[in-house]
Amino acid sequence: MDLIGRNQPQYNTVTTTATVRDALYKMYCEHIDYLIVEENDKFMGLLTEHDVAGKVLFSDKPLQNTLVKEFMTTHVPVITAEDSLENAMRLLDNRNARFLAVYDGFNFQAIVSAQDVMREALKKRRTTYDAIETAQQVGHY
């Protein structure tokens, strides 16, 4: 998939022991809606605005006293860089997921969002239609 290369390297990271308040501040400052949660350079999961919004409603604990590991998502569907765009779309749909973790063997590579996948699908569709239109103009179709 072409979009994997565009998503590397990713610096939007946070540790499991950071506070949710600090993580939200980082997301706000960087205009992003998720952070990759790492511990000792190992992928642990994601912290998304959606995670925080959903869990803050049921927590009486102040965000400055709540750790990322308490709110993060640890079950992120996995693909490889060699997986097809269609497989990524199917996995997002089947798992009702917003993000996919990309691995090369046992090595974490990147996060791909549903928006990234949709953008790539539209680009691929546009390229296909442009090729058909060009062929029709030349008289091959």
Asked if residue 141 has pLDDT above 80, the reply is no
pLDDT reported for residue 127 = 67
DSSP letter string, 46-88: EEEHHHHHHHHTT--S-GGG-BHHHH-B----EEETTS-HHHH
Q: What percent of the chain has pLDDT over 70?
A: 82
What's the rounded mean pLDDT across residues 117-134? Answer: 75
pLDDT reported for residue 73 = 95
pLDDT, tens digit (0-9, with 9 covering 90-100), for 59-117: 888 889 999 999 999 999 999 989 999 999 999 999 999 999 999 999 999 999 999 99
Asked if residue 56 has pLDDT above 90, the reply is no
Q: Which residues contact 56 (CB under 8 A, 6 or more apart)?
A: 20, 63, 71
Distance CA 32, CA 1 (A): 22
Q: Name the pLDDT band for 39 (thresholds 50, 70, 90).
A: very high
Asked if residue 136 has pLDDT above 70, the reply is no
Q: Name the pLDDT band for 57 (thresholds 50, 70, 90).
A: confident
Q: Which token pair is 81?
A: 């860089």
Domains of the chain: residue spans and CATH: 3-138 (3.10.580.10)
